[in-house]
Structure 1
Amino acid sequence: MARNEVKVFVDEDLRGARFDRSTLAGAVMRGVDVSGLDIDAPWLAETALLVNGVDVVPLVEAELDRRFPGRDLRRASEPAGLRAGWAAAERAWAAAVDRVLAMPVGAVDVSIHGEWSFAQTLRHLVFAADAWLGKAILRLPQPFHPLGQSHVEYETDGFDMSVFATEQPTFEAVLRARAERQAMVRDFLTTLTPDLLAESRPSVWWPEKVVSVRHCLHVILNEEWQHLRFALRDLDVQR
């Protein structure tokens, strides 16, 4: 079937089907049974999702903001809001770390349906801070911590993966690296000014694309809240 040819499913039974890293953009469902349907779309806030003619995205976003106090500040436009948003994210993650430490030994390394484990998630947030603060904003010559964990797609385009650890670190080492990077973001936000927020920087992976410092910080905060939701979702499965 050609890539741009519309696929039509009529009277199909897709109960229990799983779609990972797939696109359903523009899909139309009519007369469907969606009982128990579970959708996890990290970029939902940037689009629309119609259910019986109602865009449910604002409802979902409002509920997530209620569940995660401070999440609504992930796109704050001024320094005070960004500082408050980061402090809220730190508190939420501290509670999540306390929770996983109280679980049976090994819980930090459990992967649910091939997703990152709790420890790997923290390593990725180390990487996100290094990429968007250390590399993009501060333009450090070597911004990446060896324990950071990237997405596979970043291995291309000349990206140097040799800086990263090849063996699984202890969780204690992961927590130390995470604390260092949290402090790095916190310290940067302490002296943040409106003028610095408005400054331009080359995007992390596409240097020809210019973004603002504000955009870079929004990416960091969005990573924090998205991955917290993922982590807590998967910890719930382990209970």
Structure 2
Amino acid sequence: MSPQFGPHRWSAGHHRNDDTERFRGARFTVADLSGARFVDCDLSGVKIVDGYLADVDVSGYVERLVVNGVDVTAYVESELDRRHPERVQLREIGSAEGFRAMWTTIEQLWTATTARAERLPESLLHERVDDEWSFTETLRHLVFITDSWVNRTILDQETPYHQLALPQTAYSTEDAVALGMHVTATPPYAEVLAAREDRMKLVRDLLTPLTDADLGRPCHRSPAPGYPEGPRPVAECLAVVMGEEIDHHRYATRDLTVLESRHTP
């Protein structure tokens, strides 16, 4: 992906918990943190000295991760690229045609994965693995991503959110409800799938006539109230959408493997 299409991590600004800085610069000495769980936390600059790390699972944006004096970042990235070549395809996008090809890849990945999921009982599609989003919740979040970065930002719609859209956990539930989202709802899988298919078609319809000149057009509306303000080019918005699609597909397939192991036909 060319530099102007580079990935960014967006958060919802004031929707964060007011107590987020309580542990900034904290020092834990001879402390038992076994079983601790850090969700959507900024761990940049963290240093662990003489720690005991066994069965540790780390996921997220990783840059310069050093383990026992060895920078393992490049290895992790190259292994992810090997397992998920769509990551490489996304980084190498440099044109409107590249975005169309990337979306075709995403549609193919999700078509296969959705068919795989639907071989399970519906109850499992609503079941969380290790407290991560269920398959149904993941689809709802991707509806939110499309509404935020396509409908609102690129297409400049003020309140485009589907009622079944599910924002990130850091986003205020009260604010999401005010925007028309029923975040605590437990809709049937078929309803969520219909919303998801509608939003995927929306992206396809947007990309079909897209030209290289369109990619640089600035979008002035933020993805959702509370996000950082400022213009973003169409290309950047599309890159966020496709990056989210790829990342959540990886999480979904990981968890489907666990759910399949629980299911005895």
Q: Give your verdict on TM over 0.5.
A: yes
Contact 1:118–1:231 under 8 Å retained in 2? yes
Work out whether residues 65 and 71 of structure 1, in 8 Å CA contact, stay in contact via their aligned partners in 2: yes
When structure 1 is superposed on structure 2, of 67-76 and 147-156 the one drifting more is 147-156
Q: Which residue of 1 aligns with 2:112?
A: 95
Aligned: 1:131 with 2:148: yes
Residue 40 (structure 1) aligns with: 59
- Output the CA distance in 1 between the equivalents of 2:83 and 2:38: 26
Letter in 2 for 1:190: T
Q: 1:71 aligns with which of 65, 87, 99?
A: 87
Q: In structure 1, what is the Cα distance between the partners aligned to 2:41 and 2:231?
A: 28
C-alpha distance in 2 between matches for 1:164 and 1:19: 26
Determine the structure 2 residue equivalent to 1:200.
Answer: 218
Query: Could you say if the C-alpha distance between residues 107 and 77 of structure 1 is closer, same or farther in structure 2, counting changes exceeding 3 Å?
Result: same
Counterpart residue identity of residue 217, structure 1: L
Secondary structure in 1 aligned to 2:130? coil
Distance 1:67 1:209, change over 3 A: same
Confirm or deny: 8 A CA contact 2:167 2:176 kept in the other structure: no
Residue in 2 aligned with 1:174?
Answer: 192
**One-letter amino acid of the counterpart of residue 175, structure 1:** L
Following superposition of structure 1 onto structure 2, how do residues 52-71 of structure 1 map, counting pairs within 5 Å?
Answer: 52-71=68-87
1 CA distance for matches of 2:257 and 2:54? 21
CA apart distance, 1:211: 1.2
Alignment of 1:138-177 (within 5 A): 138-155=155-172, 161-165=178-182, 167-177=185-195
2:29 aligned residue: 9
Structure 1 vs Structure 2 CA RMSD: 2.5
How far did 1:55 drift? 2.8
Task: State the distance in 2 between where 1:211 and 1:157 align.
Answer: 27
Q: Is the 8 A contact 1:71 1:85 kept in 2?
A: no
Alpha carbons 1:198, 1:214 under 8 Å: kept: yes
Which is further off, 93-102 or 140-149?
Answer: 140-149
CA shift, 1:196, in A, is 0.8
On the 8 A contact 1:155/1:161 being kept in 2, the answer is: no
- Distance in 2 between residues matched to 1:55 and 1:110, nearest whole Å: 36
Structure 2: gaps (5+ residues)? 1-21
Identity, % of aligned positions: 37
- What's the CA shift string for 1:8-54, capped at 9, x where partnerless? 424x454444333334321212333323221112x22xx22112333
Aligned partners of 2:174 and 2:36: how far apart in 1? 34
Amino acid at match of 1:234: D
Aligned counterpart in structure 2 of residue 26 of structure 1, from 29, 32, 45 = 45
Shifted more, 61-70 versus 185-194: the winner is 61-70
Distance 1:58 1:19 in 2: 23
User: Which deviates more, 25-34 or 94-103?
Assistant: 25-34
Whether the aligned pair in 1 keeps the contact of 2:149 and 2:241 (CA below 8 Å) is: yes
Q: Which moved more, 1:20-29 or 1:100-109?
A: 20-29
Specify every segment of 5 or more residues in structure 1 that has no aligned partner in the other structure, as ranges. none
Q: Which amino acid aligns with 1:129?
A: T
Displacement, 1:5? Answer: 4.3
Q: CA deviation at 1:111?
A: 1.4
CA contact (8 A) 1:50 1:56 kept: yes
SS at match of 1:151: coil
Alpha-carbon distance in 1 for matches of 2:257, 2:173: 34
Deviation at 1:232, TM superposition (A): 2.0
Query: TM-score when scaled to structure 2?
Result: 0.78
